[in-house]
Amino acid sequence: MLSDALHFSFRLPARASVRRTTSNPITEGAFVLQGDNHLDGRTEGRAPRLVRFMGVDLELAPDVLVPREETELLGRNAAAILTERAGPATVIDMCCGSGNLALGIAEEVPLARVWGADLTESTVALARRNVDRLSLGDRVIIRQGDLFAALAGEDLEGAIDMIVCNPPYISTSRLEGDSAHLLASEPREAFDGGPYGISIHQRLIREAVAFLKPGGWLLFEFGEGQDRQATALLARTKAYEAVTFAEDSAGKPRVALARRLGGAAATAAADGASR
């Protein structure tokens, strides 16, 4: 039972109040209440630790990232775009972790079918448990592998309406310096974004082109002050429209929203990314 678990809550806007336009992404804030020893994971004879994210209750584990406020911002903007477009949608949640984005989107958007992917076996196992917990196995599929390689053979190239991702975005040097405290209770791979904090973003932006339909959306989270890098990476592919950003409760850009171009330019970019 929920009352028997250590339970974190996000304070969310009412679903009916969520609105978004391309020029005005959703900025409603949310926050997580985290208790002591919040990543103890499963203990024999005790209920699993749970987090509430986008209105759904998810199990946590010691080696998986706890969802943050900025990821709720990402999920709400994704759900709003999909709701506005109406009709069925095929979505990828890359670096899915506990499955929080995949499951939150599936719960908010009943016509969405979501593919989640992550690198580590234990993370994928947790995400699958959460799929079972919410009885969403008919619409949420979790695969294991290195980014889009996890989805090889699923015939998803050129068929995706939206890709969402919360990749690692802290530089290796910061994790060994002023951000080292993060590693006390959560896994390094959830934070380490390489020398400049954008190693996964570089691959994500480039490889997503082959999977997105013309007009499909790429939404991803990034660290404070990385908006210029995100803009440059997206522009370099020549495959996306001008990026817009959703801001956190402090008014800082934290989520990028980029739409894939249509026509010959996007096709050429996709061909280049596959080489």
Identify the residue with better confidence: 39 or 148.
148
Band (22; pLDDT cuts 50, 70, 90):
very low
CA distances from 256 to 29, 60, 190, 212, 234 (A): 16, 26, 19, 16, 10
Mean pLDDT along residues 90-118: 97
Contact predicate 195/170, CB 8 Å: no
Listed range (76-85, 107-116, 178-187, 199-208) with the worst mean pLDDT: 178-187
pLDDT at 23 over 60: no
Residue 199: partners with Cβ closer than 8 Å, 6 or more residues away: 168, 193
Q: What is the pLDDT of residue 269?
A: 58
CA distance 226 to 39: 28
- Give the highest mean pLDDT range of 44-53, 80-89, 180-189, 196-205: 80-89
Contact predicate 80/51, CB 8 Å: no
Q: What is the pLDDT of residue 273?
A: 56
109-155 pLDDT tens trace: 999 999 999 998 999 999 999 999 999 999 999 999 999 999 999 99
Phi, psi (rounded to 5 degrees) for 179: -110, 15
Dihedral angle sign, alpha carbons of residues 52, 54, 58, 60: negative
pTM (2 decimals)? 0.77
What the chain holds in terms of domains, given with CATH numbers, is 2-274 (3.40.50.150)
Band (275; pLDDT cuts 50, 70, 90):
low
Mean pLDDT along residues 40-67: 75
Phi, psi (rounded to 5 degrees) for 192: -75, 105
Identify the residue with better confidence: 60 or 212.
212
Mean pLDDT along residues 54-63: 89
Rg (CA), the chain: 18
155-193 pLDDT tens trace: 999 999 999 999 865 544 555 544 444 444 545 455 444
